[in-house]
Structure 1
Amino acid sequence: MDMQTSALTRARHQLETQGRFPGGALPGDITESWLRSLSHGLDPLERSRRLIQSSTEFTATCQMHADLIRFARPELELLFDQIAGSNFMIALGSPEGVVLDTMHDPQFAETEAGAQVIPGSVWSEELRGTNAMGVCIATGRPAQVYGGEHFLRAHGDVSCISAPIFDGAGRLAGVLDASSMSAVRQQHTAALVQMSASSIENSLIRARHDRSIVLQFHPRPEYLGTLSMGMLVLGEDLTVTAINRKGEMFLTGFPRLMGESFDRIFEQPFAAIQRRLAEGETLRIRDRIGSAVSLRAVANRASFALARRLRPVAVEEAPARNLFRDVVVEDAALWQRLQALPDAARRGVVIAISGETGTGKALIARLAHAAMGRQGPLVVLDGRMPGDADLPQLLGAEGQPGLLQQANGGTLLLDEVTALPQMVQAALAAVMDSGEYRQPRTGALIRCDLRLVSVTSEADGLAGLLPALRYRLEGFRLELPPLRKRSDLAALASRFARTVRHEARISDPALARLGAHDWPGNLHELRATIIQAMLTCADEVLELRDLDPLLPPDGAPEEAECCNQCAGVPWKESQCEAIRAAVQRHEGNVSLAARALGMSRTTIYKHLGDQPQASLRPRNL
């Protein structure tokens, strides 16, 4: 037994027998949390209670934090893939400690902790004592709580790691948590959790300030667009209305930032550089303390409106390069396809985006919305989410505005449109024809002015839709290529590597190894692989040996053949073979293959329909 474990054992004994414990025996944040737990009147020997919100309360909580849930879900899935192993889960919490969303492996789900940490359960310090989510909420800092460090003995078999998510205005927006049955301290996992929390934070700031000037800045220009960048949001009076945590670190010399004028922070006044920012230029500028940073404007509705105001004649041919300046696109064929998107978006053409899972469809959809330059919000209708894709949610019910009404003046994004129920498809087709609909409960006629963007990962694109909707959505069609068919993999890998280490480089043998992999999970899989490799490599250079544990052996035999329904169509065969090869690599475990590919198990089974059932049976980890 090491000294730290022995000190914890003694502290727990005194806590449980005397209601106090020796100062200095525990890490500072755990000591403070135990003291707070005692002040809340909690008993360390109390059995864990099922503290869960009612269905009505949880629905209201989810509606209140809808943006957080939407932007966090992709990060939850990516983090779930990155934390390899068993007996673990990922959870998203509200600022009040309500679990909003979870992902867990089957083994963790069968434990007592798995039965406790479920959507709707509450994990504040006041109710549960010391736990990572509760500590994170109480302090506003990342927290790690291992085994017996939990205040309640009932939680002593779990270890949890949490990171806060802020809203840019200094307020807590949520908490990201990773829990496992392991008692070993997991700094690798802690780093991944904090990176994912930063990514969610940046997404929230961009989405909530789409009508404000949002600036990216960093001392090094190559780190703009990465998790290392600072983000600064300017209001109409050019004062700071939001800033991310990285931005606060870069501007630590100022006593206050919120409400401070841009012209008082930086040497050059905004009026002197606004034209260059609107044109997408990256500028070198000094703050009043004398530190130099590279600065550019995020492509959103505000930056496009600024460009129109400053260049009224040139707005019709505003370059696509301006829209995609935050995106790595060095593949000539893909760039050729993307150039027409801004003009189609401005003209109000319905946009249909297709491509395999992980090819960047959601990102391109958000850029299309920004290019439209409309005042309304981007509202998402997700065909895969139970309860999200039904008529009451679309048209409104019980006094709640539906998604159509919420998207009025903006954009309705139909995510995985082919999964929408036929009743919803028919309703959408009718609205696209008339521009109006009747509210089911009141019968009131409601007009809606919105633009539509559809996204699907189905190989047949929109073919699975009702004809009435399908032909109305086939306006500007954009198919995003899989990563294996792009020529800019090295540039993408380098961008992901620099999100972990500023000076990161990838050796030529490692790049060759990356190029030899087929990347069935596309950008999601590449990002997860690069981040894991960079977190474990010895220095700033990612070598071939760092990739070996994360990728199948080079030149490993791929015996997968495409299924009968995909045979004869080259691009279908390629996708199908990648799916079946992934199942082979995971020894027939469909769940693991689906997780690695970022696909549903239903999609995997569709491509395995002609294989023997024995080869499809999921195996235990």
Structure 2
Amino acid sequence: MQHLSGMDRARKALEKGERFPIGMLNPVVAESWQRCRDLNLDPRGMPRHNVVAFVNVKRRREENAAMRLLALAEMQLLHSQIAGSNFMIALGDANGIVLDTISDQHFAESEAGRAIIPGSIWNESERGTNALGLAALVEKPVAIYGREHYFACHGHLSCMASPIFGSDGKVLGLLDASCAHEARQEHTHALVRMAAAQIENGLLYQSHSKSFVFAFHPRVEYLDTLSAGLVSVTLDGEIVSINRPAKTLLDGLPAKIGNHFDTLFEAGFGQAVDGLLKGGAIRIRDRAGSGVFMVCRQIGQHHAPMRKQTSQAMPALIRKERAPDFVAHDPAIKRSLDDIAEAATLCMPVHITGETGTGKELMAQHVHKVSARKGEFVALNCGAVPEELFIAEIFGHERGAFTNARAEGSIGLARMADRGTLFLDEVADIPLAAQTSLLRFLDSMEIRAVGAQKTQKVDIQIVSATNRDLENMVAQRQFRADLYFRLNAFSIRLPPLRGRTDFASIVRHLMEKIAPGTPVTDAAIAALSQRRWPGNIRELRSVLQRALVRRCADYVDESCFDEAKLNPDPARDCCDECRDRPLSRAKCEEIRSVYEKTGQNISRTARELGLSRTTVYKHLANRFENPGL
């Protein structure tokens, strides 16, 4: 008799109308299945596809305008974090009616995508067990994977939803991420919960813009994270709003709207405000005797004239400890930094992409820093390890485990990084044969050295980086899709230097590192900003170093740069046909760039760009002494 998995047994019992096997299902799912069965829903049938009229959708959007405004911004950010993973992000109201969606085109065109549209109703009584409807019912974050859905036709989907609560504790809406079951990513559930918490906090600030908002947490480094409690109080100290983390931190105390600040904290309200308005964090005890740090995040209306002074001083205590060791004023970088601490707290694998020289290792070191891990930061250049030694390099090996093995053996980089961070640089170069072993390790966090019999559990923050297009490599079967999704739990895209809005700050920062105290004129920075910087920050550092050698005074101005190298003619290397045609010239530059990245391989260049070899030859003709070769 063929052995049946737990889910197989549960589905078989469901479809036969039998009792579900104990322990085979999440209790929340089992209870939902039973409710659906009590409604006489046929798990092998088709759910009702009811959709409310658009005028009704519009009205519901207007009723939830404040939440929707914040939610759409979070949905866009969430979609960018999981882009390319065949996902849809949906916002529903408290009744499980979809208000808005943001999705990948492939998912939107699928049968599931056509079912999740504005106005579609996803409550349990009509759609069976699903994350959005179940989260609305139980008022808790819910994940429904594959065949946990009541209707068999939804078995190819995985859905994760989190309720969005108002300050009164009632559900205002629901945030849901749905994807193909093959792309199951448990980290996405954490991202959805984080996004919902961001919306809730945003609503707290918006709804009580004239009140004080205090953030508190037992650990000072968590005051800037979603784990911090937020409490909004009037100028008289009356509590008007309190978020979910605050209620958790104040468990057992009367943390309710309408109560006074003094019923929660030992220090009197007036004394606490006096300390908070001086800037920075104060130490305070709650009425249960637990110590917490507290900062003022928003000042009451009557204290508005003091806002400027306080806002400058207040964040210093927290942000100084978590400030990156690089310039991060660019909006794209700042958005990434905002969520890194929370991602590291959840031990989510972080994947960093960007052109060569954009600072991927610096970002990786920052992830290690904000994770507050006690172990080491261990880096591996995946492209520098021979294929046959890759597994042994990461997992270690016993003495004499293979030919040319170290006589004393090796503990491996994974064990070196235990309780710390393992940085896999140039991750696109991981040999295909080794990707299966790495995926297994990421799922279990267990290692076994080559030649060893025992496994060892480790606790590691994984950070990976590449300047190559992994999605394209997955499509071409040059990189495992499941490993890509696993590494890409939280993604950071570093923009190229030519696209950075904080270019001047980067120049000054690098100069201070290279030659502290050396001024850089605005004219020098203006001249530097005209270059394309294919080598990005690494190239800029070299240019500044050469400028220091050439300078004639104790400063750097535009005369310190080699103009011919600083402002190369973009058409200089173009073929004759493209020299005076900007659009063709851009294509010519792209071909030449890919040609260099592929090691000057004509066939690979043509394949990656979808061009014929003849076209590639034409654009590269004046690089060869004999164009006919």
SS of 1:257's equivalent in the other structure is coil
Inter-CA distance 50–530: structure 2 relative to 1 (3 Å threshold): farther
The correspondence for 2:464, drawn from 536, 540, 549, is 549
Equivalent AA in structure 1 for residue 358 of structure 2: H
Q: State the TM-score, normalizing by the size of structure 1.
A: 0.56
What's the counterpart of residue 38 of structure 2? 39
| Higher mean displacement: 536-545 or 33-42 | 536-545
Aligned pairs for 1:186-335 within 5 A = 186-235=185-234, 237-254=236-253, 256-300=255-299, 302=300, 304-306=301-303, 308=305, 315=306, 318=309, 321-322=312-313
Cα distance in structure 2, aligned partners of 1:317 and 1:25 = 58
Inter-CA distance 10–278: structure 2 relative to 1 (3 Å threshold): same
1:209, CA displacement in angstroms? 1.5
Cα distance in structure 1, aligned partners of 2:2 and 2:529 = 54
Inter-CA distance 514–232: structure 2 relative to 1 (3 Å threshold): farther
What's the counterpart of residue 604 of structure 1? none
What's the counterpart of residue 13 of structure 1? 12
Cα distance in structure 2, aligned partners of 1:144 and 1:6 = 20
Inter-CA distance 618–47: structure 2 relative to 1 (3 Å threshold): farther
Inter-CA distance 135–572: structure 2 relative to 1 (3 Å threshold): farther
Contact 1:496–1:530 (CA<8 Å) still a contact in 2?
Answer: no
Alignment partner of 1:499 is 2:490: no
The correspondence for 2:586, drawn from 611, 614, 617, is 611
1:52-108: CA deviation from partner (whole Å, max 9, x where unpaired): 221100111111111122112232222222225432222222211122222221221
**% identity of equivalent residues:** 34
SS of 2:586's equivalent in the other structure is coil
Equivalent AA in structure 2 for residue 55 of structure 1: F
1:306, CA displacement in angstroms? 2.9
The correspondence for 2:358, drawn from 489, 511, 517, is 517
Contact 1:48–1:155 (CA<8 Å) still a contact in 2?
Answer: no
Cα distance in structure 2, aligned partners of 1:206 and 1:2 = 58
Inter-CA distance 498–19: structure 2 relative to 1 (3 Å threshold): same
1:257, CA displacement in angstroms? 3.2
SS of 1:517's equivalent in the other structure is coil
| Higher mean displacement: 178-187 or 126-135 | 178-187
Equivalent AA in structure 2 for residue 306 of structure 1: H
What's the counterpart of residue 386 of structure 1? none
Equivalent AA in structure 1 for residue 586 of structure 2: Q
Cα distance in structure 2, aligned partners of 1:559 and 1:277 = 40
Contact 1:299–1:322 (CA<8 Å) still a contact in 2?
Answer: no
Cα distance in structure 2, aligned partners of 1:50 and 1:131 = 14
Cα distance in structure 1, aligned partners of 2:159 and 2:273 = 46
Equivalent AA in structure 2 for residue 283 of structure 1: I
Alignment partner of 1:170 is 2:162: no
SS of 1:549's equivalent in the other structure is strand
Equivalent AA in structure 2 for residue 154 of structure 1: C
Cα distance in structure 2, aligned partners of 1:163 and 1:609 = 48
Rg larger in structure: 2
Contact 1:493–1:530 (CA<8 Å) still a contact in 2?
Answer: no
SS of 2:137's equivalent in the other structure is helix
Cα distance in structure 2, aligned partners of 1:576 and 1:50 = 56
1:268, CA displacement in angstroms? 0.8
Q: RMSD between aligned alpha carbons?
A: 4.9
Equivalent AA in structure 2 for residue 305 of structure 1: H
Equivalent AA in structure 2 for residue 517 of structure 1: T
Contact 2:254–2:263 (CA<8 Å) still a contact in 1?
Answer: no
Equivalent AA in structure 1 for residue 222 of structure 2: Y
Aligned pairs for 1:99-498 within 5 A = 99-183=98-182, 186-235=185-234, 237-254=236-253, 256-300=255-299, 302=300, 304-306=301-303, 308=305, 315=306, 318=309, 321-322=312-313, 496-498=339-341
1:441-498: CA deviation from partner (whole Å, max 9, x where unpaired): xxxxxxxxxxxxxxxxxxxxxxxxxxxxxxxxxxxxxxx75678xxxx8xx9876443
SS of 1:260's equivalent in the other structure is coil
Contact 1:299–1:324 (CA<8 Å) still a contact in 2?
Answer: no
1:271, CA displacement in angstroms? 1.5
Inter-CA distance 53–139: structure 2 relative to 1 (3 Å threshold): same
Inter-CA distance 124–569: structure 2 relative to 1 (3 Å threshold): farther
Inter-CA distance 89–561: structure 2 relative to 1 (3 Å threshold): same
What's the counterpart of residue 475 of structure 1? none
SS of 2:298's equivalent in the other structure is coil
1:396-415: CA deviation from partner (whole Å, max 9, x where unpaired): xxxxxxxxxxxxxxxxxxxx
Unaligned runs of 5+ in 1: 309-314, 333-358, 360-479, 520-524, 563-567, 582-606
Contact 1:518–1:578 (CA<8 Å) still a contact in 2?
Answer: no
Contact 1:163–1:193 (CA<8 Å) still a contact in 2?
Answer: yes
1:241, CA displacement in angstroms? 2.5
Contact 1:493–1:526 (CA<8 Å) still a contact in 2?
Answer: no
Cα distance in structure 2, aligned partners of 1:35 and 1:15 = 9
